[in-house]
């Protein structure tokens, strides 16, 4: 039997300050292939290249990856600011519409970091452009050296940094078999006001929303603020999430 196919959204990237490309981190692709046991296929995060109906005719589920660009503030009624650039409006156009279609059709969708934020905005929620600026919040961005440069060791960058408390009896707590987990943290933007169908299932020690599900979704529709794609081959938390995503993909493939 052929494996399910997962569409993995791309990010706009300027290579060598010259060439416009669409890029996906390899760890996302490996997480889909090696843990969810599915075939990853990248699609462009741009509506002038990717047709939603066309891509959903080809895939059994969608992975909304993280990305450097923030969701544009105009998507939730806030004026943009140069301090919080870059933005990727073409990905916004595609991803926000894609979230709603996937949820409506019961197509499994898993949002990671920016992907969680997109899920929230798609259902009318808002974001804060720099979550660490809120009173009482920690710095959720990747670790840096004293001189301000990004830490050179990727294992330090993606190391677990804080705890997340899960809602008792919720989808995440049930899947993971526990109510407290530790996760990595590499984001500036974060959920401010949850969308109308966004159910908060996990919160960091400082109150930052870290895990969500979409209420009344007929299929898998979960989002996490941390980078679950980094180490699901070894990390039991992230492995469980990607395996659950994989199980949902198989069910969807058989239905189709």
Q: How is the chain split into domains, by residue range? A: 5-255
5-255 has which fold?
Rossmann fold (3.40.50)
Of 38-47, 66-75, 130-139, the least confident: 130-139
Which one of the listed residues 102, 113, 130, 187 is annotated catalytic?
113
pLDDT > 70? residue 1: no
205-219 pLDDT, tens digit each: 999 999 999 999 999
Mean pLDDT across 86-101: 95
pLDDT > 60? residue 118: yes
The whole-chain average pLDDT of the chain stands at 92
Which one of the listed residues 72, 128, 140, 227 is annotated catalytic?
227
Q: What is the pTM of this model?
A: 0.94
C-alpha 71, offset from chain centre: 12
**Is residue 229 annotated as part of the catalytic site, yes or no?**
yes
**Is residue 72 annotated as part of the catalytic site, yes or no?**
no
pLDDT > 90? residue 158: no
**How deeply is 8 buried, as exposed, middle or buried, from its count of CB atoms within 10 A (0-12, 13-18, 19+)?**
buried
**Is residue 227 annotated as part of the catalytic site, yes or no?**
yes
Q: What does the buried/exposed string (b/e) look like for 110-123 if buried means 16 or more CB atoms within 10 Å of the residue's CB? A: bbbbbbbbbbbbbb
């Amino acid at each position: 039997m052929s494996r399910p196919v997962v569409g993995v959204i791309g990010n706009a990237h300027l290579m060598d300050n010259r060439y416009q490309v669409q890029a996906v981190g390899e760890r996302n692709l490996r997480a889909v292939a090696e843990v969810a046991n599915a075939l990853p296929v990248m699609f462009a995060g741009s509506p002038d290249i990717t047709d939603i109906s066309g891509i959903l005719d080809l895939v059994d589920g969608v992975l909304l990856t993280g990305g450097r660009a923030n969701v544009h503030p105009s998507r939730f009624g806030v004026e943009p600011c140069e301090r919080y650039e870059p933005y990727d409006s073409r990905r916004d156009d595609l991803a926000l519409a894609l979230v709603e279609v996937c949820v409506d059709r019961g197509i499994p969708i898993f949002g990671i970091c920016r992907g969680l934020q997109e899920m929230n905005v798609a259902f009318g929620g808002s974001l804060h452009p720099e979550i660490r600026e809120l009173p009482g919040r920690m710095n959720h961005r990747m670790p840096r050296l004293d001189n301000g440069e990004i830490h050179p060791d990727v294992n330090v960058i993606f190391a677990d940094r804080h705890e997340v408390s899960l809602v008792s009896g919720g989808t995440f707590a049930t899947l993971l078999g526990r109510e407290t987990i530790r996760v990595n943290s590499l984001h500036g933007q974060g959920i401010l006001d949850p969308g109308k169908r966004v159910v908060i299932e996990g919160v960091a020690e400082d109150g930052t929303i870290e895990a969500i599900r979409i209420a009344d979704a007929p299929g898998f529709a979960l989002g996490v603020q941390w980078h679950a794609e980094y180490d699901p081959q070894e990390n039991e938390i992230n492995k469980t999430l990607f395996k659950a995503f994989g199980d949902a993909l198989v069910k969807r493939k058989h239905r189709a």
